[in-house]
Amino acid sequence: MTQDPSAHGLVPWHGTTIIGVRRGGITVIAGDGQVSMGNTVMKPNARKVRRIGAPDKTGKTSVIAGFAGATADAFTLFERLEKKLEQFSGQLMRASVELAKDWRTDKYLRNLEALMIVADKDTLLVLTGNGDVLEPVGDIAAIGSGGNFALAAARALADYEADAETIARKAMAVAAEICVFTNGNLTVETV
């Protein structure tokens, strides 16, 4: 049985919407910046989307990732994914599957409370602590408190808009208007 965190004076942290969109060989991951504790905005400009892995010839990494959930847990997962990318020569799918296996079976990792959207030039995935490595339908994925709003908006826009970044930004704007745990301070990364 799960305990109610408020019974111990703890207020759950909320707030994140992350969306990933692939269109025309371009993949974008966008995330809002709000971190809330109960009904208080604790930080409006958190950076929940970032580049991970080793830099290429241009100085940029070829993998982008966004997280929803506990920050320390997400950074642990970012570090683990970077190690897997190193181990499997930058193969995102293979590294993600291996991370998901570890995440599901390792007692420490199993308690991490986060979800991730990860992408490279060829792949867009959602990773969960249940051991899931999901390729989204229609090359659009969203996670977090406003994820369903962003996902619905992006799917509706996909028939009318060809640009991945435009879809992601407009979908995030819709989520920010509806979800009280989502704001319009975006971090956007593209591969």
What residues are annotated to the active site?
16
Residues 6 or more apart whose Cβ sits within 8 Å of residue 116: 65, 66, 67, 68, 74, 77, 81, 126, 127, 143
Degrees (nearest 5) of the Cα angle 67, 126, 122?
A: 110
Evaluate whether 22 touches 139 at the Cβ level (below 8 Å).
Answer: yes
* Cα–Cα distance, 155 to 136 (Å, whole number): 11
Q: Which helix (H) or strand (E) segment is 37 a member of?
A: strand 35-37
